[in-house]
Structure 1
Amino acid sequence: MQKRTIKYGKLVRDRIPEIIEASGETARVRVLDEWEVIPALTAKLAEEAEELRQAGPDDLLGELADIHEVLAALTETLGFSEEEVQEAAHHKRAERGGFSRRLWLDEVTSNE
């Protein structure tokens, strides 16, 4: 039997190596240094956002859950509480609005 190796180079959920090993495969992992975590989480957020963009109707909730989990990890890593993030979101919504009106900005013309 020939071995095959797939390289990932990405942040994964904590139990993924255990799940891989349980399937009979071998996972090689390392713990990120502190300076590596924020770039890895932001890359993971972009990955999960793209997965949400491409998801079918049956997968939307799971993809939103993945994004929520990455945001929770980023919140903790950056030293904020969930309450602080919610308060900041409320403040921004009060100043600039939310997204409920579904406004798409096509262009802006200056009067110069």
Structure 2
Amino acid sequence: MAIGILVRDKIPEIISREGRTPITHIASDDEYWEILKGKLREEIDEYYNSGEEEDFIDILDVIDSMTEFKKYNKGELEVLRKKKEEERGSYSKRVILDDFDKLTKFM
């Protein structure tokens, strides 16, 4: 078993019910943020390889934890997201940029 991995809150309880003894600690702020960033990468890789809805939910859960940790306001984030969409568009039209003549700040 790997050491020092971020797990869902109820995992130690589940391990205990199986008759095993989990050894845990509560992460410091710095450790938690670094581990959350790594966890996001891990979950994205899992979804990339599986395409499964459950793995996509894990990505959303990590993003929610990051949002809470940074004390971001979800309403304000949505306003900023909408503003960016109005200014630069979204990805919904599936536009693929194949080439362009000059390097610009948009890349």
Distance in 2 (CA, whole Å) between partners of 1:25 and 1:102 is 49
2:72 is the alignment partner of 1:80? yes
Q: Which of 2, 7, 19 does residue 14 from structure 2 map onto?
A: 19
Contiguous gaps of at least 5 residues in structure 2? none
> Which residue matches 1:3?
none
Alignment of 1:72-111 (within 5 A): 72-110=64-102
Contact 1:49 1:67 in 2 (8 A): yes
Distance in 1 (CA, whole Å) between partners of 2:19 and 2:99 is 54
Distance in 2 (CA, whole Å) between partners of 1:89 and 1:20 is 40
For the residue of structure 2 that corresponds to 1:88, the secondary structure is helix
Amino acid at match of 2:6: L
Contiguous gaps of at least 5 residues in structure 1? 1-5
Shift of 1:25: 2.0
> Which residue matches 2:48?
53
Distance in 2 (CA, whole Å) between partners of 1:69 and 1:86 is 17
State percent identity of aligned pairs. Answer: 33
Shift of 1:107: 4.2
What TM-score do you get using the length of structure 1 for normalisation?
0.80
What TM-score do you get using the length of structure 2 for normalisation?
0.83
Distance in 1 (CA, whole Å) between partners of 2:10 and 2:99 is 46
> Which residue matches 2:36?
41
Shift of 1:90: 1.0
